[in-house]
């Protein structure tokens, strides 16, 4: 009985007899799950002593509970909570765990879809790195050193902008590898890029402000802005990235605060903004004085040709806010993002952060800073890039071999996913059938601001190995809806 504290208040001067009060209290604890089916109760002597009542009071209460089916006799003279509780008890437990005793506003906060996949499901949904490739022992040693050397400095309140060494490491990476003229003071470290966008929204947006979003586009970013009261203004994406002519028309007729854009390897389409559109976008931002919120998640995973520099590297007017991540160079559970923003906006983001989560994981930040300083993070990124390119090529070959008559796609120059068009297929039905057979992927509907069907699907390949990719494509071929046909595997 160590797990149950019989803190029962009995009204000794009340009109309800003590045995009945005690029986009701014990039945309540059973209904609420404080006493579990099969749990042995204290003896009548023990319970009488604990509650400071006569033993006969306890015996009478137990007789009542036994008559109602709440308790049953077990070994010797002991009683236990009945294993087969009355049906009303099971219903009460269901109500307690499933029902809501208060009202909620009539709005949906966000679409679902980023729950962890069931075990043994081959999951294409994330566009995330393979944690099996992470040198976890190296990260663990760095984390232990950070705890040992950092002491109270990493376990107490610390700099809400992020550990100075990590900010310096990120700034150095952005200067030397991505062409941004920044120093450590320009960088804000966050717990992942989604928190970065949330802090940006809190600092930048007022309810009713217009925010241009990509259509199709990354759901969590746009839904995060919508949660803050922004008006979402979808602009189409094509093979050259955001349609800047359509953007110009929106800016001409709407009051817009910000443009949310992924110039490099857009999510979900993997399109990269063309050079001419980059220049047009920057010119429009200057003319209309709107912020450009650039998300750059896949810079380190450009496989083919010269690396495309961030839009922020060409910004001379202070209109581009640059959001990046270290998560994709490590693993999905290592939540580290960063923002480069003009000082006034960054100060506002820090004010918002004081309310949201105060600071990041200083020990983790220090550990990753050490991995950056000794070159381990860059070496890991190089190894991972080679492996991810191999996996991309494996998926491309498997799709062409098994589904080439059904689907089409452009091989992306980098990134961790393919955008696959399937114009003759009910892709939502396909996704349902595939999931029932152990393969999960998102269809175009998931990325549409309108939620309308889109006959395409996104296949994140980086966290599946070559054999898993082959198996997953085979399942996809076998689960095509009846009106579409894959070629024979023979």
Model confidence pLDDT, tens digit, residues 63-113: 999 988 899 988 777 898 998 875 555 555 555 556 777 888 877 666 555
Which residues partner with 294 through β-bridges?
261, 322
The gap from C-alpha 149 to its chain's centroid, in whole angstroms, comes to 31
CA distance 450 to 215: 9
Pairing of strands 210-215, 256-261: parallel
Query: Quick one: pLDDT at residue 490?
Result: 32
Which residues fall within 8 angstroms of residue 386, CB to CB, at 6 or more apart? Answer: none
Q: What domain range includes position 211? A: 134-374
Judgement on whether residues 60 and 171 belong to the same structural domain of the protein: no
Among the three residues 374, 390, 410, which one is the final residue of a domain in this structure? 374
Distances (CA, A) of 98 to 95, 125, 390: 5, 28, 46
Percent helix, strand and coil across the chain, each to the nearest 5: 45, 15, 40
In a domain, 348, yes or no: yes
Asked if residue 355 lies in contact with residue 203, where contact means CB atoms within 8 angstroms, the answer is no
CA distance 385 to 379: 10
The CATH number that applies at residue 54 is: 1.10.10.10
CA distance 335 to 198: 14
Judgement on whether residues 366 and 397 belong to the same structural domain of the protein: no
Asked if residue 304 lies in contact with residue 413, where contact means CB atoms within 8 angstroms, the answer is yes
In a domain, 109, yes or no: no
Query: Quick one: pLDDT at residue 488?
Result: 41
Burial 274-295 (b: 16+ CB within 10 A, else e): beebbebbbebbeebebbbbbb
Among the three residues 343, 374, 405, which one is the final residue of a domain in this structure? 374
CA proximity to 303, closest of 189, 385, 196:
385
Asked if residue 171 lies in contact with residue 186, where contact means CB atoms within 8 angstroms, the answer is yes
Judgement on whether residues 210 and 250 belong to the same structural domain of the protein: yes
Judgement on whether residues 259 and 147 belong to the same structural domain of the protein: yes
Tokens of 175: 């200067």
In a domain, 115, yes or no: no
The gap from C-alpha 37 to its chain's centroid, in whole angstroms, comes to 36
Please enumerate, as own/partner, the contacts of 446-450 that have beta carbons within 8 Å and a separation of 24 or more.
446/111, 446/113, 446/219, 447/216, 447/217, 447/218, 447/219, 447/267, 447/268, 448/215, 448/216, 449/213, 449/215, 449/216, 449/217, 449/222, 449/232, 449/234, 450/215, 450/234
The CATH number that applies at residue 424 is: 3.90.1150.10
Judgement on whether residues 311 and 417 belong to the same structural domain of the protein: no
Q: What is the pLDDT tens value at each position of the chain, 490 positions in all?
A: 445 677 788 888 888 889 999 999 898 888 888 888 888 888 889 899 988 899 999 999 999 999 888 999 887 778 989 988 755 555 555 555 567 778 888 776 665 555 666 668 999 998 889 999 998 898 999 999 988 887 777 888 889 999 999 999 999 999 999 999 999 999 999 999 999 999 999 999 999 999 999 999 999 999 999 999 999 999 999 999 999 999 999 999 999 999 999 999 999 999 999 999 999 999 999 999 999 999 999 999 999 888 999 999 999 999 999 999 999 889 888 899 999 999 999 999 999 999 999 888 999 999 999 999 999 999 999 999 999 999 999 999 999 999 999 999 999 999 999 999 999 999 999 999 999 999 999 999 999 999 899 999 999 999 999 999 999 999 999 999 976 554 443 3
Tokens 């390949």 — which residue?
A: 461
Among the three residues 355, 374, 393, which one is the final residue of a domain in this structure? 374
CA distance 280 to 294: 15
In a domain, 81, yes or no: yes
In a domain, 2, yes or no: no
Q: What are phi and psi of 314, to 5 degrees?
A: -100, 0
In a domain, 207, yes or no: yes
The total number of structural domains in the chain stands at: 3
The CATH number that applies at residue 288 is: 3.40.640.10
CA distance 70 to 25: 12
Judgement on whether residues 240 and 280 belong to the same structural domain of the protein: yes
Tokens of 471: 């198996």
Distances (CA, A) of 72 to 41, 46, 68, 483: 10, 18, 10, 59
CA distance 340 to 294: 10
Judgement on whether residues 311 and 424 belong to the same structural domain of the protein: no
Judgement on whether residues 389 and 405 belong to the same structural domain of the protein: yes
Asked if residue 189 lies in contact with residue 162, where contact means CB atoms within 8 angstroms, the answer is yes
Asked if residue 24 lies in contact with residue 62, where contact means CB atoms within 8 angstroms, the answer is no
Query: Quick one: pLDDT at residue 16?
Result: 87
Asked if residue 30 lies in contact with residue 70, where contact means CB atoms within 8 angstroms, the answer is yes
Tokens of 49: 């002593």
Judgement on whether residues 279 and 397 belong to the same structural domain of the protein: no
CA distance 17 to 351: 58
Which residues fall within 8 angstroms of residue 290, CB to CB, at 6 or more apart? Answer: 251, 256, 257, 258, 259, 284, 319
Asked if residue 289 lies in contact with residue 298, where contact means CB atoms within 8 angstroms, the answer is no
Judgement on whether residues 403 and 472 belong to the same structural domain of the protein: yes
Judgement on whether residues 342 and 212 belong to the same structural domain of the protein: yes
In a domain, 271, yes or no: yes
Angle among Cα 131, 132, 136 to the nearest 5 degrees reads 75
pTM: 0.81
Judgement on whether residues 329 and 286 belong to the same structural domain of the protein: yes
Residue 421 DSSP code? E
Query: Quick one: pLDDT at residue 395?
Result: 98
Three-state DSSP at 432 gives helix
In a domain, 331, yes or no: yes
CA distance 219 to 226: 10
CA proximity to 161, closest of 368, 291, 337:
337
């Amino acid at each position: 009985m160590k797990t149950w504290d019989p803190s029962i208040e009995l009204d000794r001067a009340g009109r309800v007899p003590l045995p009945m009060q005690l029986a009701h209290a014990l039945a309540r604890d059973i209904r609420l799950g404080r006493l579990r089916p099969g749990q042995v109760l204290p003896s009548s002597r023990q319970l009488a002593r604990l509650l400071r009542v006569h033993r006969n009071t306890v015996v009478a209460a137990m007789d009542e509970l036994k008559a109602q089916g709440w308790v049953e006799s077990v070994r010797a003279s002991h009683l236990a909570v009945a294993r087969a509780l009355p049906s009303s008890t099971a219903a009460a437990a269901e109500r307690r765990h499933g029902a809501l005793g208060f009202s909620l506003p009539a709005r949906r906060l966000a679409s679902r879809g980023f729950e962890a996949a069931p075990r043994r499901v081959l999951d294409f949904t994330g566009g995330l790195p393979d944690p099996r490739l992470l040198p976890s022992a190296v990260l663990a040693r760095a984390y232990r050193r950070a705890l040992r050397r950092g002491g109270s400095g990493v376990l107490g309140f610390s700099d809400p902008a992020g550990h100075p060494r990590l900010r310096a490491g990120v700034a150095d990476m952005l200067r030397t590898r991505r062409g941004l003229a920044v120093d450590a003071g320009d960088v804000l470290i966050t717990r992942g890029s989604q928190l970065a966008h949330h802090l940006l929204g809190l600092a930048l947006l007022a309810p009713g402000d217009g925010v241009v979003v990509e259509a199709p586009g990354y759901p969590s970013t746009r839904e995060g802005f919508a949660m803050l009261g922004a008006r979402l203004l979808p602009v189409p994406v094509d093979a050259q990235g955001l349609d800047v002519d359509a953007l110009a028309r929106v800016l001409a007729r709407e009051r817009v605060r910000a443009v949310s854009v992924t110039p490099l390897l857009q999510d979900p389409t993997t399109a990269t903004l063309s050079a001419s559109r980059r220049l047009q976008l920057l010119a429009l931002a200057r003319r209309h004085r709107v912020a450009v919120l650039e998300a750059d998640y896949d810079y380190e995973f450009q496989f083919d040709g010269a690396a495309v520099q961030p839009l922020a590297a060409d910004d001379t007017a202070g209109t581009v806010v640059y959001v990046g991540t270290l998560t994709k160079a490590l693993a999905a559970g290592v939540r580290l993002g960063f923002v480069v923003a003009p000082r006034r906006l960054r100060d506002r983001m820090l004010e918002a952060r004081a309310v949201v989560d105060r600071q990041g994981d200083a020990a983790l930040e220090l550990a990753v800073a050490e991995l950056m300083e000794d070159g381990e993070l860059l070496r890991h990124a190089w190894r991972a890039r080679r492996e991810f390119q191999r996996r991309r090529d494996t998926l491309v070959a498997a799709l062409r071999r098994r589904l080439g008559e059904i689907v089409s796609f452009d091989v992306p120059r980098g990134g961790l996913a393919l955008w696959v068009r399937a114009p003759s297929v009910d892709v939502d039905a396909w996704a349902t059938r595939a999931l029932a057979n152990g393969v999960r992927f998102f269809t175009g509907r998931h990325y549409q601001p309108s939620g309308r069907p889109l006959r395409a699907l996104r296949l994140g390949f980086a966290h599946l190995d070559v054999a898993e990719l082959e198996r997953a494509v085979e399942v996809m071929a076998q689960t095509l809806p009846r009106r579409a046909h894959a070629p024979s595997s023979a």
